[in-house]
Structure 1
Amino acid sequence: MELSSSDKERIQHQYDALAKKTLVGEAKSHRRTLAKRAAREVPFSDLSESELAQLFTTDEYESDYFRFQVSGFDVLVKNELLAEALNALPERKRDIILLSYFLDMSDAEIG
């Protein structure tokens, strides 16, 4: 059965109306989704320093530290200036400082 040209035109208009309704509905849905997302999201520039610090981690490698051997213990020092200052000290004083400050030993334990 062949459709007349007016029937074809009517079907085309019905399809166009349905397509427009669908697109309008999708656009509204998309705008609602974007509004909900914008209400929940916070730009990085609005975060405080402490909040930003929770969002990342840094890898630490043994090669990042300066190693000192004292009384059978390995003491790792990350600060380069501190490591240079400790290296400049005589061994006995350096050992006392390392045992006291880095290994939390008391004077009696060090002695």
Structure 2
Amino acid sequence: AQFTSISLNNAGKGYQLLFTVQTPTANASMNQLVAITELFDISGLVSSALVTLPTSSIQCGEAFRAVVTLKDLYGNTVRASQDGVAVELLSLSDGRLLSVQGTTIVLARDGIADFTNLVVGNIGES
């Protein structure tokens, strides 16, 4: 038998598939055969990122932490991801130019990029 449209919606480790085959016997009863796959892991593809900040107000010149969690299509954390995540500051509505200092590119570990020493400052400040 060939199965072409099996899908799972939860990334994880240690999955197995169980297949059961029922075949008739000579005395009209059913004989049941079972096949189980080896253990396998399912890693979702990153389709979104959830950013967590310690507060909604960040002070210019003060260090803060930002955590980026990489999610798959179903909202699961993509634990297999070690993607590089970069942070940059978008321009402000009042036209001021600011910069982000600190470690601005972090490799995700278990699907989480942890920026621990970010600082927002005016352009030209160090």
- Please report the TM-score for the alignment, with normalisation by the length of structure 2: 0.23
**Does 1 or 2 have the higher relative contact order (CA < 8 Å, sep 6+)?**
2
More strand by share: 2
TM-score for the superposition, normalised by structure 1: 0.24
